[in-house]
Amino acid sequence: MLRYANPANFLAVARIGIPITGFVSGVLFAVGLWMVFTVAPADYQQGETVKIMYVHVPAAWLGMASYSLMALSAVGTLVWRHPLADVSAKALAPLGAAFTFLCLVTGSLWGKPMWGTWWVWDARLTSVLVLFLMYCGIMALWNAFEDPARAGRAVAIMTLVGFINIPIVKFSVDWWNTLHQPASVARLDGPTIHPSMLWPLLIMAGAFTALLLTLHMMGMRNEILRRRVRTLGLMAAQVGEAAE
């Protein structure tokens, strides 16, 4: 891993990795969507509305996974001053925010026909909304500093403090009485979903995960370029000043 800590090495890896993960994501999306609309049965209670699950659940998983990866990156920034750690964290924030937003809106679109309401202030929904607001706060903090290194340290502290919300999101359905259903896939006693629905869900989750990897590498590559542009821009300004 440390071999690739160098941004130049990372760019070389990303050049190969981005098309591979992008292709894998595309194939998995094609297979997953085909299974969702042709193989996966309607739910005996929810009917076809259960199809929203195949977008909503992977989006929820990625919303939490992105934040967990950001927390790992934050440790890399604060403990090891890893040269790519805050680049990784900055690239993840908008991705996590987008997937959490998708989770919230598709949840609402699922809730209206099934629960009869777009929204309830139960522990799961509220903690996911808090997660989305934290992503927004973190993106605002990134933009509040001129120097990306200073921003990286401030964001890392905020990210680690906010990580307390991740177990709250995960276990909210066990700790409190919620309208949102309890976990049915990631359970100690195994999934409670029938395999005819579980497989399309896992394939869609794989597609979304490969997409996250692709977008994360693209975002990191862009951030490295942005920092190079900033450095060279400052050098150009200094040269210009010296010439005057």
Partner 1 sequence: MIASLGTHGGFIVASYALGFVVVAGLVLRAIVEHRVQTKRLAALEERGMRRRSEPGR
Q: Rule CB under 8 A: which residues touch partner 1?
A: 42, 47-49, 51-52, 55-56, 59, 94-95, 98-99, 101-102, 105-106, 109-110, 112-113, 211, 215, 218-219, 221-222, 225-226, 228-229, 231-233, 235-236, 239
Closest distance between partner 1 and the C-beta of residue 1, in Å? 21
Rounded-to-integer distance, Cα 154 and Cα 56, Å? 31
Nearer to partner 1, 112 or 150 (CB): 112
Q: Are 19 and 210 in contact (CB under 8 A)?
A: no
Helix axes 85-115, 195-243, angle to 10 degrees: 140
Nearer to partner 1, 101 or 145 (CB): 101
Task: Enter the tokens of residue 139.
Answer: 């993106």
Q: Are 150 and 112 in contact (CB under 8 A)?
A: no
Closest distance between partner 1 and the C-beta of residue 95, in Å? 7
Three-state SS letters, 123-160: HHHHHHHHHHHHHHHHHHHHHHCCCHHHHHHHHHHHHH
Closest distance between partner 1 and the C-beta of residue 94, in Å? 8
Nearer to partner 1, 161 or 234 (CB): 234
Nearer to partner 1, 78 or 218 (CB): 218
Nearer to partner 1, 96 or 152 (CB): 96
Closest distance between partner 1 and the C-beta of residue 52, in Å? 5
**Rounded alpha-carbon distances, angstroms, from residue 214 to 65, 116, 204, 208:** 15, 37, 15, 10
Closest distance between partner 1 and the C-beta of residue 110, in Å? 7
For CA atoms 123, 129, 135, 138, give the dihedral sign: negative
Task: Enter the tokens of residue 210.
Answer: 């490969």
Nearer to partner 1, 61 or 110 (CB): 110
Closest distance between partner 1 and the C-beta of residue 17, in Å? 14
Residue 174: half-sphere exposure toward Cβ, Cα within 13 Å: 10
